[in-house]
Every structure is written in structure tokens, then in C-alpha cells.
Amino acid sequence: MLTKGDDFPIHQKASPLAEVGSSRNFYDRYFFNGYSSEDKIFFGAVLCVYPNLNIMDAAFTIAHKGIQHNVRASRILNLERLDTVVGPIEVKVIEPLQKLQVLVSDKDSGVNVDITFDGFTEVLQEPQMFLYDGPRKTMDTCRMVQHGSWAGQIKIEDFTIDIDQEKFVGTRDRSWGVRPVGAYDSQPSAPMSLPQFYWLWNPAHFDDFTTQFHFVDDSDGNLVNGHSILQYKNKREKETFSDLEKTVEYFKGSRRVKFLEINALDKNKDNINLKVTPKTRVFMCGLGYMHQEWGHGHFKGENERTYDTYNLSEDPHDPPFLHIQSISDVTLLRKEKTYNGSCILEELILGPHLPSGFKDLFDR
């Protein structure tokens, strides 16, 4: 059901544009990441509209030489959803479902960006995501994902990083629907229960193909929502896998993934084995996720911005720093042939998870 119109933030409900509806917590977001595992450079961007909160916000982050630089901005939407500029940050759709541009011009921080994403796989519509708090539906989201390369330049004060499309790959998504945004709910469902969310997302890049796996588990470790697929670059061919399973090893005394192994079956019932080893960690609160002051959809004023940095040699391991993405090494074994690649592993693990031994909200 995806159309070119689905690359613009004009949705009304958690469905492609053909269906219409709305909610106080409706959101419509662009998300991008890009990285070079060779150079140990990661960058990310978001831009989101909240039609019923009348707010648009955006953020850009780059991790370079051990420092994560974060530019965030927020403004009143004024009902115009196609004006995708928030302070110094802008997202342009150059060619729907194919090519998008991210621009940042922040004089105060010295961060200037002009980079373009060019998809080398077909846009993929993921399974619809539904989550509940008792009888109340808290998430009802639709997401499309695409793998591609990046080209352009990023400047941090006087230092220039050339983004070469032969070295910099990444993943972008467009998601929309209902999820908790803005101010916290003043009256949650009774009786109150311990929040729980287990999320692992793993888009990987190999020479001729990409893979994407994700897991959303309940507190008992049952798979609530998951996806496993292989897409060939510059082709419309893809393979969907089944019988998705994972084995996770954590760093001692933490919720950080040290090693992830994924097994699945292809259409011929042959085993697919993926091994992921995280390397370079980046904090997603740099893009507003779980941020106490600059969380998504929070009212900050008519037109406001902020800039800060994180020292990546430190790991607070507490909110809002629990949500991370890591540049990772990945190997895929299929029919006795091994493929080596690079990938991102995204982790957000809150609350109990029986297979991991987590019993409380933040225990390690």
C-alpha cells in the first residue's frame, strides 16, 4: 500500500496514506543513521511532526574522535506539516522512496551538514507494531525502512569530514502512528504496572545484500513483534526468513549487549546464522530519545534550539543513556559460506526480561 506520498509527513493514522484517522499521540517521523566502520564515525538525524500537539522537532548527532555532538531544535508547527525545517535543521525529499537530504547550519555550535541519502534497496514496509498497557493501546505504528549510502560533507567547527558514498552506509526509516510522545500521561491504566520494553534492531550491510532483524519481547521473552529479511542491493529481490531466534550475551553488571547471535530459516528451511559484535556506542538521547528536557514532542517554545556533547569514553548506563546504537561487526553463515559486513545494533531494554535475568526496571 506504500505510495510516493508516504515519504512525506502527512499521515493521519498508523497506516499508509490511503487510510485516515488521528490521535493526541499521533506522530510522523524521519529517522536516519549513517556510519563508516573503517573511520569509526557515526551520525544520525530525526525530524518529526506531532499534528495534534502542534509541534515539530528535529535533532542531529555525530560521534567523532570520542565525542558525540548533539544539535536539537523544536518549534510550533503552525499546522504546516510540509515545511520540514526546524531551526538550523532541515530534511528535504529529493526523490520520494529513493533520495533525501539532511541539512544543518548551526552557527553557535559550528556544526554544518549537507549530506544526501541514496537508497540501494527497495523501501520495505515492516509488520505493524501494536503494544498495550492493560486494555489501552499505547503503540500502533507503521514503519518503512530503506538501506543506502551517504554522500556530502559534515563540518564541526574548522574540521571537515568528507562523506564518501563508497565508505558511508546507513539506514533510514519513516514511521508514523500512535506512540507515547510529549508530556507523560496524567492517568495511566490501573493498576499501575512496571514499564517493560525489550527492543533489538539490527540492520546490516554486506557487499551485495543487506539484512534486517528486530525483536520486541515481552517480560517472559516471548516475541511480540519481529522481522527478519534479506534484500539484494540495487534489485527488487528479497527473502523473508522464519523461525527467528536469538542468543544474547551481556557485559557483566549491565544491560549492554556484548554479543548477539541470530538464527533463522530461509525459504528452503536452510539455517541462516548471524553473529553481531558491538564496537562503537552512541547515545540515542543525543537525538531526543528518552531525553528529560528535549524529549520528542515536548513543548520548548516558539522556536528553540540547544547544543551539547557527550564523552563516549563514559557510559552512565542510566536513563536517558540506556537507549543506544552501536557500530558493529557482523558475520553471516549460509550454506557453509561466510559473509563479513558491518551493521548497527540498536538496544533499548527496560523492565523485566526473564531469559536475560532482569527482574526490575533498571537492574543489571
Check if the beta carbon of residue 15 is closer than 8 Å to that of residue 144.
no
List of residues 6+ apart from 198 with CB closer than 8 A: 215, 216, 217, 218, 219, 348, 349, 350, 351, 353
What cell was used for 133? 498497557
Asked if residue 364 is part of any domain, the answer here is: no
* Angle at alpha carbon of residue 228, lines to 2 and 163, rounded to 5°: 75
Lowest mean pLDDT among 73-77, 85-89, 230-234: 230-234
Half-sphere exposure of 94 (CA within 13 A, CB side): 11
Q: Quick check: helix, strand or coil at residue 35?
A: strand
pLDDT of residue 22: 64
Asked if residue 257 is part of any domain, the answer here is: yes
Of residues 287 and 12, more confidently modeled: 287
pLDDT of residue 18: 47
pLDDT of residue 3: 64
Check if the beta carbon of residue 203 is closer than 8 Å to that of residue 184.
no
Q: What does pLDDT average to over the chain?
A: 92
Helices in 187-269 by DSSP H: which ranges?
Answer: none
Q: Scanning the structure block, which residue is given the C-alpha cell 542468543?
A: 247
**In whole angstroms, what is the distance from residue 343 CA to residue 326 CA?**
8
**In whole angstroms, what is the distance from residue 73 CA to residue 21 CA?**
27
Asked if residue 226 is part of any domain, the answer here is: yes
Is the pLDDT reported for residue 118 higher than 60? yes
> What average pLDDT does the segment 306-316 reach?
96
What cell was used for 322? 540506556
Q: Which range of residues forms the domain containing residue 94?
A: 26-181+194-356
What cell was used for 213? 532483524
pLDDT of residue 21: 65
Asked if residue 256 is part of any domain, the answer here is: yes
Name the pLDDT band for 132 (thresholds 50, 70, 90). Answer: confident
Give which of 202, 231, 117, 113 is closest to 168, Cα–Cα.
117
Is the pLDDT reported for residue 20 higher than 60? no
Asked if residue 6 is part of any domain, the answer here is: no
Half-sphere exposure of 13 (CA within 13 A, CB side): 7
CATH of the domain at 57: 2.40.370.10
Name the pLDDT band for 329 (thresholds 50, 70, 90). Answer: very high
Asked if residue 224 is part of any domain, the answer here is: yes
Asked if residue 9 is part of any domain, the answer here is: no
Overall domain count for the chain: 1
What 204-207 contacts at long range (C-beta under 8 Å, 24+ apart), as own/partner pairs, is 204/274, 204/276, 204/330, 204/332, 204/341, 204/342, 204/343, 204/344, 205/147, 205/169, 205/341, 205/342, 205/343, 206/332, 206/339, 206/340, 206/341, 207/339, 207/341
What 265-272 contacts at long range (C-beta under 8 Å, 24+ apart), as own/partner pairs, is 265/241, 266/239, 266/241, 266/334, 267/239, 267/240, 270/334, 270/335, 271/334, 272/228, 272/230, 272/241, 272/332, 272/333, 272/334
pLDDT of residue 124: 92
For the chain, what's the residue count? 364
